[in-house]
Amino acid sequence: MVSRAMDWLRQALRDLEHARRSLELGDYEWACFAAQQAAEKAVKALYQKIGIEVWGHSVSRMLKHLPKEHRPSEELIDKAKELDRHYIPARYPNFHPEGAPMDYYTKRDAERAVKYAEEIIRFCRNKIV
């Protein structure tokens, strides 16, 4: 099987840049979602690198189930759990009792999401390259 780890990692970095731009523009819900996507793709890059197929969108679950020698700290897994919470609510109004996702996301949410994605990407990148 040909490893696509670098393809996944490159796209993770691109998604992270999208998250940063969305944060700058004040599109906080999109910054949070793009940060989640960036972290997800970085973790999938790591799985590709070690030759294991993985499915799903939960960054925390994927990190938690990495082989022991590749598994991060519980603190990083907890940060991934916060990113996981942005996968659906950041995009769909029917997740919220009323209003649109943009009504529920703040600059602080987006800053934290981008920071956590950066940390997860750094962790994965260090194991890939």
Q: What is the pLDDT along the chain (129 residues), one digit of tens a residue?
A: 678 999 999 999 999 999 999 999 999 999 999 999 999 999 999 999 999 999 999 999 999 999 999 999 999 999 999 999 999 999 999 999 999 999 999 999 999 999 999 999 999 999 998
Secondary structure class of 104 (helix, strand, coil): coil
Dihedral class, residue 51 (left if φ above 0, else alpha if ψ from -120 to 50, else beta): left
**Residue 43 φ/ψ, nearest 5 degrees:** -65, -40
Question: What pLDDT was estimated at residue 47?
Answer: 98
Contact 58, 39 (CB under 8 A): no
Domain that holds residue 108: 5-128
Domain count along the chain: 1
Indicate the angle between helix axes 107-128 and 5-25, nearest 10 degrees.
Answer: 160
- The pTM for the full model equals 0.96
Dihedral sign from CA coordinates of 35, 81, 116, 2: negative
User: What's the rounded Cα separation, in Å, for the pair 62 and 54?
Assistant: 8
The amino acid sitting at 67 is P
Question: What pLDDT was estimated at residue 1?
Answer: 62
Task: Report the CATH number at residue 68.
Answer: 1.20.120.330
User: What's the rounded Cα separation, in Å, for the pair 73 and 90?
Assistant: 26
User: What's the rounded Cα separation, in Å, for the pair 76 and 95?
Assistant: 26
User: What's the rounded Cα separation, in Å, for the pair 34 and 129?
Assistant: 23
